[in-house]
Amino acid sequence: MNNNSSGSLAGRKFRLLLPIAAIVLAGAYWISRSDAPPPAGAAEAAKASSRPALTVSLTTPQSLDWPLVLPANGSVVAWQEAVIGAEIANYRITEVRVQVGDIVKKGQVLARTASDTVASEVAEARATVAELEAGAAEAKGNAERAKELREKGFYSAQLNAQYQTAQHTAQARLAAARARQQGADLKMSKTGVLAPDDGVISARSATVGSLTQQGQELFRLIRGGRLEWRAEVPSADLGKVKTGVVAALTAPGGEVVKGTVRAVSPSVDPQTRNGLVYVDLPATSAIRAGMFARGEFSLAQSPALTLPQTAVVLREGFSYVFRMEGEDRVAQVKVNLGRRVGERVEIVSGLDPAAPVVASGAGFLADGDVVKVVAGVAK
């Protein structure tokens, strides 16, 4: 009886010891495994993490003297535009000699009106003058003879006065006839519509067969072919712009046209609070009257810390450059930008003037990336 109970107790102890022994053996196994080399996959991952993300060239900020510029918008208009019409009314246009875009000289005939009626008026006036010239000559002779006879006592003073009066009347009538002839000749000259100045025809409404009207516009002329840029400048900046300042316009086609400030408006628009700056422009086909153009005024020179635009990355509305940290690692640095001239941009703040930065390809980098630097420093 006692032997059976002791045997069953020993069996239970043996079953309890088995799990404990298994745990001990597992712990010993994992301890021995910790001294073994890491798996091949982990080694490959560690090796890949140290590979360069990009091969880059470096550059350093350069200090350059750049102009202080004032941007502005405005319209290109004619310096002065002359409205040309016929000086005589109710005459039919018989000929139009110019088209829009033609370059004309002062006094050049632009159009002609019918001259038949005016020609008859001129002929009538000349005939009247000829008749009155003859009458005036006869009256003058009579007056001279009457004066001689009066001195000899043959004519009375009253009769002599009558001859003298007839002479003066004939001369007055002749002068009036000559004035009418001059008016007819002037009217004949007005049958041709003439250019009042050198320039370019910018508009034409004259058509053959139509009747001229008083004050009717037939042509528009850009005087001298001169154009100007009327830039709108805020009143706070208007005092900075002086006569003679150079302005650079960007035409719609991308061409840059330089002009000179001729005048600054003495008043400001009360609605927009902007003043006009008048800029004389050179003759060029890049700009035309009526165009809208953006431009800037070069006010002065000031030093600027600059980098190539390829070194600057725009992310989430901010500007960054990648500065070298150590020999092969980059750090992303936030910077503030200023002026832009050509392919370079001004760094206002956020970067050490002597710091080397990635010159190009920065858009493919992230903060802390490992890079391979090629020999030389980019400009």
> Where does the pLDDT of residue 167 fall: very low under 50, low under 70, confident under 90, or very high at 90 and above?
confident
pLDDT at residue 116 in the model: 84
**CATH number of the domain within which 255 lies:** 2.40.30.170
Q: Taking 70 as the threshold, does the pLDDT of residue 29 lie above it? A: no
In a domain, 49, yes or no: no
pLDDT average, residue stretch 105-109: 94
- Note the pLDDT of residue 24: 54
Q: Residue 317 pLDDT more than 60?
A: yes
The per-residue DSSP string of 165-199 comes to HHHHHHHHHHHHHHHHHHHHHHHHHTTEEE-SSSE
Number of C-beta neighbours around residue 200 at 10 A: 20
Whether 339 shows a pLDDT value over 70: the answer reads: yes
Is 296 in the same domain as 322? no
Give the position of tokens 């070069």: 298
Q: What is the mean pLDDT of residues 148-160?
A: 73
What does the pLDDT read at residue 1?
A: 41
Instruction: Examine the domain organization and report whether 182 and 290 are in the same domain.
Output: no
Residue with tokens 């090796």: 47
In the chain, the percentage of residues whose pLDDT exceeds 70 is 84
Q: What is the mean pLDDT of the chain?
A: 83
| 87 or 152, higher pLDDT | 87
135 and 175, same domain (yes or no): yes
Using CA atoms, how far apart are residues 324 and 352, in angstroms rounded to an integer?
12
- pLDDT number for residue 34: 45
Find the helix or strand (DSSP H, E) in which 257 lies.
strand 256-264
Tell me if 283 is assigned to some domain: yes
Q: Which residue has the higher pLDDT, 39 or 328?
A: 328
The three-point CA angle 85-86-87 to 5° equals 115
Structural domain range at position 10: 2-36
Q: Is residue 221 part of a domain?
A: no
To the question of pTM greater than 0.75 for the whole model, the response is no
Q: What is the pLDDT of residue 3?
A: 45
User: How many structural domains does the chain have?
Assistant: 4
Which residues lie closer than 8 Å to 72 by C-beta, 6 or more apart?
Answer: 231, 232, 233, 277, 294, 295, 296, 297
Give 124-144 pLDDT, tens digit per residue.
888 988 988 888 888 888 888
Same domain, 279 and 291: yes
pLDDT, position 220: 93
Which pLDDT does position 35 carry in this prediction?
47
- For 44-80, write each residue's pLDDT tens digit: 444 445 566 688 888 889 888 887 888 999 999 999 8
